[in-house]
Chain A
Amino acid sequence: MNNKNLFACLLLSLGVWTGCKEVFSSQDSRLSQIAYAPEPYPIQIPEGLPQFEPPADNPLTVAGVALGKKLFHDPILSADSTQSCASCHLSSLGFTDGKAFSKGIDGVEGRRSAMSLINVAFYNTGLFWDGRVKTLEDQALVPVEDPVELHHRWEDLEKQLRRHPEYPGLFRQAFGIERIAEIDKYLAAKAIAQFERTLISGDTKFDQVMRGEEKFTDDEAVGYDIFFDFTDKHPDAECGHCHNAPLFTTQEYENNGITAAQSFEDYSDPGLGGVNGKKLDLGKFRIPSLRNIALTAPYMHDGRFKTLEEVIEHYDAGGEYGPNVSPVLRPLKLNKTQKRQLIAFLHTLTDRTFVSDLETQNN
């Protein structure tokens, strides 16, 4: 045992002996001089998007969001201080990384494509492609130790955060901690979750048209009809069943027929079925949002389609055979023009202001 530990031990026993008075170091007393005056974060939910309730024990505060944002972008989160969350969730790419499979710090590829974090605050049917985690607070704990991601150890990261010149003060402002030892993975995860809940985007051309501020071009308008089937004038591509507005996902888990499978055993990535143990859910994935879809290529959980054109060809053909493919899928028989019009509509789902605002803030 080194001297420092011995000293801490002594102090600790003293603390216990004095009737469990808390042990304060001199750094701790400096900490308590920093004001803790939590100010609610002014969250703005654009017209047309649903409400969401942050967990009661993690309300959004200005200092909490700022801390979360710093952590999200800080390579201190990885074992060799080279990668952060932002390495795979880039704001310019709609918070994805533009790769089919993301590489972690060891250069090892994961098995799935990075997901967009835009509007993640609204998701309430499980996170990740297979829904294996319930809350953003729990999710944020995962990448740090994931061997194909940041491959760090929370124990070590907690130490690094505690001895960092700035973090203790920021944790104090965000959560009112009184001792540096209170900095732990749970508080870090709470802060990251707060930041993620502010990534709300609802100012696309689509939203502006819905609010009556803009007009679709002719092609976009036809694409909109093909997507949602408002009239019988154009073929119905059935997209709205699964990618319904306003989030452009119903958040259900479905098999959209991208993998040909004679039986359930043929799904190499089990998806939801791997999480809940139900055979009938093998090969099902959470329906992703199509907001900012033009920015988030390649597509699907394994990034198999490089372009939106490839995605549309897939749906147009009616999908592959599989034992639990959604009955909503069927051969669509869209002609070339209609496919182009559908893609034109998908391009109206990009929120340029959201992305460029973030870029200026991060520079």
Chain B
Amino acid sequence: MRKFSFLLLFATLFIASSCDDDTPKPEPAGDIQITFKGNYDGETFYTQKAYDYTDDMPVRFSAFNFFVANISLLEQEDATEETELIDIDFIDLGFDETQTAEAEAGVTVSAMKVPAGTYRGLKVGFGVPADLNRTNPVDYGSGDVLSKTSHYWSAWNSYIFSKIEGVADVDGDGQFETSEGEGLTLHMGTDATYTERILFPSSPIVVDEDGSINLTLNIDLKTLFYMPINEYDVNNDELLDIETFNGTHTDSELLIAKQLMRNFSEATALD
């Protein structure tokens, strides 16, 4: 009991002191949810569905996932004032055609409270920011998003920021054969590939006190594959030649990985 009353005293003192005039009153707050939706060429994206990558080469993807980080609301377009929403989270858009409801709904990351007000922009990072990328999965408890050893690559000393996996029917025989080397394993990572995008909705984001709003980000997987034509040895108009570049381990492939991550910026649109 002794200890308890001592604590109580402390608590009262603390409350008393926090009632000082110069400490801000608790801000009125509304809820914000952020939803990530996967598309392929403008349509809802499904794993295991055959897409025409190019006219003569269908691709069936089996994984599309990525880390998002430093998500915040911006009060002004110049991004001086940021209200942080999400530190880091992992988004897995790998839904197949038996999961249409999930695929169409997208992945919603938890709701958080933000001060009521009018916001002009939304900042989203793709990947794991450098400070967190200094750590590795062993540093985290099993429930943490950063504890995934599936998304850490020791050779890079980096998390794998995003995985795009699938099989392309390269030889055009109607079969998707990993056994023939048709697999596509695009893993992106390392600090240099971390990408941030600021999105400005056509009308400002208004958060009411006790109100609740949802912001939906559409990510188009196909857009990720467009490469600037001069910088890279690609021959398929502007789409990455996935027959040649089907992995991301060698140095030249790492350049591709970097561009794929940068393209998250272009591939992302606010509903």
- The answer to whether B185 and A331 touch across the interface, beta carbons within 8 angstroms, is no
Residue in A52, A228, A250 with the greatest tally of chain B CB atoms within 10 Å: A250
Task: Give the number of residue pairs across the A-B interface with Cβ within 8 Å.
Answer: 98
- The answer to whether B138 and A48 touch across the interface, beta carbons within 8 angstroms, is yes
Minimum CB distance partner of B163 in chain A: A241
Q: How far is the CA of A124 from the CA of B141 in the complex (A)?
A: 11
Q: A229-B155, A257-B179, A324-B62 are in contact. Are A246 and B138 (CB under 8 A)?
A: yes
Residues in A neighbouring B96, C-beta threshold 8 A: 278, 280
Q: A278-B98, A280-B96 are in contact. Are A327 and B251 (CB under 8 A)?
A: no
- The answer to whether A250 and B150 touch across the interface, beta carbons within 8 angstroms, is yes
B121 in the interface (beta carbon within 8 A) = no
B258 in the interface (beta carbon within 8 A) = no
Residues in A neighbouring B83, C-beta threshold 8 A: none
- The answer to whether A327 and B152 touch across the interface, beta carbons within 8 angstroms, is no
Q: A228-B154, A232-B251, A244-B149 are in contact. Are A318 and B138 (CB under 8 A)?
A: no
- The answer to whether B185 and A124 touch across the interface, beta carbons within 8 angstroms, is no
A139 in the interface (beta carbon within 8 A) = no
Main secondary structure of the interface of B (DSSP, over half): mixed
B55 in the interface (beta carbon within 8 A) = no
- The answer to whether A50 and B178 touch across the interface, beta carbons within 8 angstroms, is no
- The answer to whether A50 and B147 touch across the interface, beta carbons within 8 angstroms, is yes
Q: How far is the CA of A53 from the CA of B141 in the complex (A)?
A: 8
Q: How far is the CA of A251 from the CA of B150 in the complex (A)?
A: 8
B115 in the interface (beta carbon within 8 A) = no
B21 in the interface (beta carbon within 8 A) = no
Residues in A neighbouring B247, C-beta threshold 8 A: 236
Minimum CB distance partner of B47 in chain A: A280
- The answer to whether A331 and B181 touch across the interface, beta carbons within 8 angstroms, is yes
Interface residues of A in 226-266 (CB under 8 A from B): 228-230, 232, 236, 238, 240-241, 244-247, 249-252, 257
Q: How far is the CA of A241 from the CA of B166 in the complex (A)?
A: 14
Q: How far is the CA of A250 from the CA of B137 in the complex (A)?
A: 11
Residues in B neighbouring A329, C-beta threshold 8 A: 178-179, 183
- Chain A nearest CB: distance from B74 CB in Å? 36
Number of B residues near A (Cβ < 8 Å) is 35
- Chain B nearest CB: distance from A200 CB in Å? 14
Q: A229-B155, A252-B150 are in contact. Are A330 and B138 (CB under 8 A)?
A: no
Interface residues of A in 304-363 (CB under 8 A from B): 317-321, 324-331
Residue in B140, B165, B179 with the greatest tally of chain A CB atoms within 10 Å: B179
Minimum CB distance partner of A243 in chain B: B149
- The answer to whether A232 and B250 touch across the interface, beta carbons within 8 angstroms, is yes
Residue in A246, A318, A330 with the greatest tally of chain B CB atoms within 10 Å: A330
Residues in B neighbouring A122, C-beta threshold 8 A: 142
Q: How far is the CA of A257 from the CA of B179 in the complex (A)?
A: 8
Minimum CB distance partner of B164 in chain A: A327
Q: How far is the CA of A325 from the CA of B137 in the complex (A)?
A: 26
Interface string of B166-198 (1 = CB under 8 A from A): 110000000101111101110100000000000
- The answer to whether B148 and A250 touch across the interface, beta carbons within 8 angstroms, is yes
Q: How far is the CA of A320 from the CA of B180 in the complex (A)?
A: 9
- The answer to whether A318 and B180 touch across the interface, beta carbons within 8 angstroms, is yes
Minimum CB distance partner of A330 in chain B: B181
Q: How far is the CA of A326 from the CA of B184 in the complex (A)?
A: 10
- Chain B nearest CB: distance from A250 CB in Å? 4
11 interchain pairs (CB within 8 A)?
A50-B138, A228-B154, A236-B249, A244-B152, A257-B178, A318-B178, A318-B181, A321-B175, A324-B48, A327-B183, A331-B179
Using a CB–CB cutoff of 8 Å, the interface residues on chain A facing chain B are 48-53, 122, 124, 228-230, 232, 236, 238, 240-241, 244-247, 249-252, 257, 278-280, 317-321, 324-331
